[in-house]
């Protein structure tokens, strides 16, 4: 019976030595249950509500005028000669430019890096194809973690160094571009 106890004990020691136990706790991804679910790591996703509206207007008016006159009179016995020379230079010019743009979109971006101060560097793009028209929205910038809402959303107006581009390709975009010969004439001021 002693031998049987020794064999069983040795077997249990051997089984315990080969069974590797690992912890469920991993410090790199640990987040307490009582904390909010805001993103904190590279690769986490954040939804950006893009609401950008910009408008600019410029008006210029110029008016200038100049009058100059020279006259002379010559008297000879029995005859008087006189003459006048005058110039008139008038300039009246004006111009106006106006531009307005508005973008309203929702895009999810990924955290690409975290700065030493804890700010989140994000980047992402969304491509949408509808009826052979391609629309591409690209967002890039720096976000403070406190600007991310509990629903994991941040407004584009809260992104520092924001680079937001919205571009389209297709028949509609091509129809809005002037033809090559029109661009050439514009180049020469015609």
pLDDT level of residue 188 (50, 70, 90 thresholds) = confident
pLDDT at 168: 77
Bridge partners (DSSP) of residue 77 are: none
pLDDT at 167: 84
Q: SS3 for the chain, per residue?
A: CHHHHHHHHHHHHHHHHHCCCCCCCCCCCCCCCCCCCCCCCCCCEEEEEEEEEEEEEEEEEEEEEEEEEEEEEEEECCEEEEEEEEEEEEEEEEEEEEEEEEEEEEEEEEEEEECCCCCEEEEEEEEEEECCEEEEEEEEEEECHHHCCCCCEEEHHHCEEEEEEEEEECHHHHHHCCCHHHHHHHHCCC
pLDDT at 115: 92
Mean pLDDT of 14-37: 64
pLDDT level of residue 48 (50, 70, 90 thresholds) = very high
% of the chain at pLDDT higher than 70: 79
Q: Which segment, 8-22, 26-40, 125-139, is predicted with the most confidence on average?
A: 125-139
Per-residue pLDDT tens over the stretch 61-103: 888 777 777 777 777 777 887 888 777 777 777 778 887 878 8
pLDDT at 2: 77
pLDDT at 156: 92
Q: Which segment, 7-16, 36-45, 158-167, is predicted with the most confidence on average?
A: 158-167
pLDDT at 159: 94
Per-residue pLDDT tens over the stretch 135-183: 899 999 999 999 998 889 999 999 999 999 888 776 555 555 677 767 7
How far is residue 108 CA from its own chain's centroid?
14
pLDDT level of residue 17 (50, 70, 90 thresholds) = low
């Amino acid at each position: 019976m002693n031998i049987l106890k020794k064999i069983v004990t040795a077997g249990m020691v051997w089984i315990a030595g080969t069974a590797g136990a690992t912890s469920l706790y991993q410090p790199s991804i640990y987040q307490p249950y009582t904390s909010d679910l805001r993103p904190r790591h590279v690769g986490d996703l954040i939804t950006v509500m893009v609401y950008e509206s910009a408008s600019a207007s410029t008006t210029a008016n110029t008016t200038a005028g100049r009058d100059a006159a020279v006259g002379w009179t010559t008297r000879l016995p029995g005859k008087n000669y006189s003459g006048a020379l005058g110039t008139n230079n008038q300039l009246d010019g004006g111009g106006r430019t106006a531009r307005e743009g508005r973008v309203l979109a929702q895009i999810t971006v990924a955290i690409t890096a975290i700065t030493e101060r804890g700010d989140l560097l994000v980047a992402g793009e969304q491509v949408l194809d509808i009826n052979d028209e391609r629309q591409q929205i690209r967002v890039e910038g720096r976000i403070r973690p406190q600007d991310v809402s509990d629903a994991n959303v941040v407004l584009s107006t809260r992104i520092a160094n924001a680079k937001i581009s919205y571009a389209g390709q297709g028949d509609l975009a091509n129809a809005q571009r002037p033809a090559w010969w029109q661009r050439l004439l514009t180049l020469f001021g015609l």
